[in-house]
Structures are given as C-alpha cells and as structure tokens.
Amino acid sequence: MPGPGILHHDDARAAPEDDDDNGRDDHDHDDVEAVHHDPAVADAVYHHQALARLDNLHVLGVTHEEAVLFADIDLEVWGRAHRDYGDMMPFERLRPRSTRWQIAVAHGHYVPVPDRTSRLRPSWLIGDDDLTAAGADYIALGHWNRAAKVGTVAAYYSGSPEYAGTINMVRLSAGGDIAVTRAALEIAREPSAVD
C-alpha cells in the first residue's frame, strides 16, 4: 500500500472569513490512513497498543473491514486488505459508491494490460480496466518505491517516503475538482534514493 498519507478535504461550507491563521477552515480533516506492505495478519504491527490509542488512525482490515466513512464530508475510503502473503486481485470485488466522494486504496503492481495467465509474473496485478471499473474519484496505489501517476484516471503511487522523499497530497474541492501534489518530507532518506 502507499506510504503514510494525510487525507485533506477542502469543504466549501465555511466562508473564507472563517479561515483561521493557518488558512484551514473548521471543516478540514487530517486523517492518517496507515498503509504498508505487510498484510493484516494477527501479529502485524497494526495491532500494536500504541496504534490502537490513535483516534485518527484507520487501518483497513484491522480497525475497519473494508471502508472508512467520513459522513460529515460525504467521503468514503475503501480497499481490500491483504490478509496473507498470497496473490490477490485488489479490485476483484468493487464497492458501490454511497458518498459524494470515494477514494479507493490498493496495493499492487500496475501494468496497463496485465497477463494474469502466466505464473511467472508480479503478484497483485492492477490494470487500466481495474482502475476504471473502481469508479473512484482518486485511487491511492502502493507497492512501488517511486511516486508515479498511472493509467487514465486519477490513480497515483505515492512511493515509499524514505525513497521518494514526498507524500501525495490530495485536495478534493467543493467544485468537484481533484488536485494531487507531492509534498516534500523532512525525513531521513534511503541513501541510494537521494538525488
């Protein structure tokens, strides 16, 4: 799955004069969606006590079966957690839209037209047809260390923060626009990845 990310929604219910000093309004949300390469098995780090105490931490397959609903901003974030180390199709079962905004998350290897008939291939394949069929406003992908936009819809790998040195910031606007930018992180980087 993608590296840790911050989900930020620009809600038009607040007028510009309601902005506080940091330029954010009272309806903004920062929610940490913890995502990682490791499956949601019983002994995974996701079950650690320290993480369980965080109110804004949502882990698909652990704290939520398949989706997290943010009703106050009409947003649903959904995805299928890896339950083991076996191969799976992240978008094999799609989730019908029930909110204005929908973000899908998936861990897998993007290939525009995957050949799933060969045993000698990457696991967790995701193709253009899968991305389009998901029907989400934004698709957060993980598995690649580098940041990249893929396919013809709004589907992005954020890359590993230690390698990419960035995270994807996704802004959903009241007008229906989606803007994706990369925000630099001030963290220790993997030496082989530093430019």
The pLDDT of residue 9 is 38
> Cβ of 154: how many Cβ atoms within 10 Å?
17
Please tell me which residue, 44 or 195, carries the higher pLDDT value: 44
- HSE on the CB side for 14, CA within 13 Å? 16
Contact 124, 148 (CB under 8 A): no
The pLDDT of residue 3 is 38
pLDDT at 92 over 80: yes
pLDDT tens sequence across 96-154: 999 999 999 998 999 999 998 888 787 889 999 999 999 999 999 988 889 999 999 99
Contact 14, 26 (CB under 8 A): yes
pLDDT tens sequence across 29-79: 555 454 556 777 788 777 787 877 888 888 888 888 899 999 999 999 999
The pLDDT of residue 36 is 53
The pLDDT of residue 94 is 94
How many Å apart are CA 151 and CA 158, to the nearest integer?
14
By DSSP bridging, strand 138-142 and strand 155-157 are: parallel
The pLDDT of residue 67 is 94
Please tell me which residue, 178 or 30, carries the higher pLDDT value: 178
**H-helix segments, the chain:** 49-52, 128-134, 161-164
Q: Partners of 179 in the beta sheet?
A: 171
Question: What confidence category does residue 28 fall into, taking pLDDT thresholds of 50, 70 and 90?
Answer: low
